[in-house]
Amino acid sequence: MKDLKYYITGIAAIFIVYLVAEYNKPDPIDWNVNLRYNSKAPYGNFILFSRLNDIFPSANIQRNNRSPYDTFTDSTLKKGNYIIIAQKEGINKVDIKALLKYVEAGNTVFISAINWNGGLTDSLKFSTGYEFGEKNPSLSFVNPALKQSTDTKTDKFTATQYFSSFDTTRATVLVQNNFKHATYLRFQVGKGALLLMANPQLLTNYNLLKPQNLKFAEKALSYIPPTKNIYWDQFLNGDIAQDESPMRVFFRHSGLQWAYYISLAAILLFVIYEIKRRQRIIPVVDPLQNATVGFVSVVGKVYYEQRDNTDIAVKKVTYFLEHLRATYNLKTNTFDNEFLNVFIKKTGIEEIFGYELINHLRFVLHQTRVHDQELIALNRLIEKFYIQTGSYGK
């Protein structure tokens, strides 16, 4: 009985120390690109949103979570500038008509996105590409008055996307990379202007903490004219606060909440009263077989334990692109509309599936951290491609 008290005291002390350590442990850094206005993660927009009044001192900053159509057809919407920074552009044809009408009236709309999979590409006749062979291009302004003494350096794949084709009679190039590819365009629409930036990561917290990148962002936003009203879009980026914790269901209902606490208490009591010194069974470990299947199993376990989804995704994409080059003689350095059309015709796959596969490849290549579900989706799409083209297992 005396020994049991020592066990209980020791376990209680360890449990208390663990709780204190967990409570004071700093949150892990989230390297996902979320672009949310209040996110302090490296790829959030907290700094940009909170310092907008430094760039536009007299402006009234307002957040908007309605769809573009509902926003731009609202008669109470005041004249001003509208800022959209999102992972996916996602504007449909109905939204575009309302947006362009708002711009024609003398307003300015700024849009920066990673994936341009909405109707804007068809409406304005432009497409995007990716500097696949270059990790970190440098950027410079075309306007001599804004051009810096040295080009703006980038890292972590934050500026690899560019506008591969566009109507030069309608669009003006504002920024280009060291390969002379445009990354920032201006479209004159009526009395107003539509500004398109291909790399929204340049406006995030990570880049704005660097002096040279901060100056670049200030000059890029200087193309937005001074106004009394600035609207920040939350709809297209899904930037609406919500409880994402898996325990939200339990804590939303008092009955489930009490059940959760009682379960924890019961588990704790079971651990306290079942503490005994027991000899663990030593399992018999068979020697590894020197066979191909065994080797693959060992390598698979190593990758699984490392959990480096990004490395696995890059390897899968690299092998898949090599397959396209060797089998179909395709050029895989740019994923634009021309590539998509040739890719679908040569492989003979379904058009919808072809667009889905290439869009997912582009999405994965822009991520600095690939989650399990994104990696699984990538694998399923590639496997489906091999099955449809009859090259599975070759």
Helices (H), the chain: 2-24, 46-50, 52-55, 68-72, 93-104, 120-124, 205-208, 211-221, 248-252, 254-273, 292-306, 309-328, 337-347, 351-365, 372-389
The model's pLDDT over 270-279, given as tens digits with 9 standing for 90+, comes to: 777 766 655 5
Of 246-250, 318-322, 367-371, 386-390, which one has max mean pLDDT?
318-322
Q: Yes or no: say if 228 and 58 are a contact pair by the CB < 8 Å rule.
A: yes
Q: What is the pLDDT of residue 252?
A: 62
Domains of the chain are 2-27+250-273 (no CATH), 46-233 (3.40.50), 293-389 (no CATH)
- What is the residue type of 93? K
Between 167 and 328, where is the model more confident?
Answer: 167
Strand partners, 165: 127
Q: How many CB atoms lie within 10 A of CB 313?
A: 20
Let me know if 160 is exposed, middle or buried by CB neighbors in 10 A (0-12, 13-18, 19+): buried
- What is the residue type of 100? L
Between 199 and 349, where is the model more confident?
Answer: 199
The model's pLDDT over 103-162, given as tens digits with 9 standing for 90+, comes to: 999 999 999 999 998 889 999 999 999 988 767 899 999 999 888 888 999 998 899 999
Q: What is the pLDDT of residue 148?
A: 81
pTM of the predicted structure, to 2 decimals: 0.59
Between 321 and 253, where is the model more confident?
Answer: 321
Closest CA to 321 of 358, 284, 291, 287: 358
Of 40-49, 124-133, 140-149, 343-352, which one has max mean pLDDT?
40-49
Closest CA to 316 of 245, 393, 227, 380: 380
- Does the pLDDT of residue 37 top 70, yes or no? yes
Average pLDDT estimate for 319-346: 83
The enclosing H or E element of 318 equals: helix 309-328
Between 386 and 202, where is the model more confident?
Answer: 202
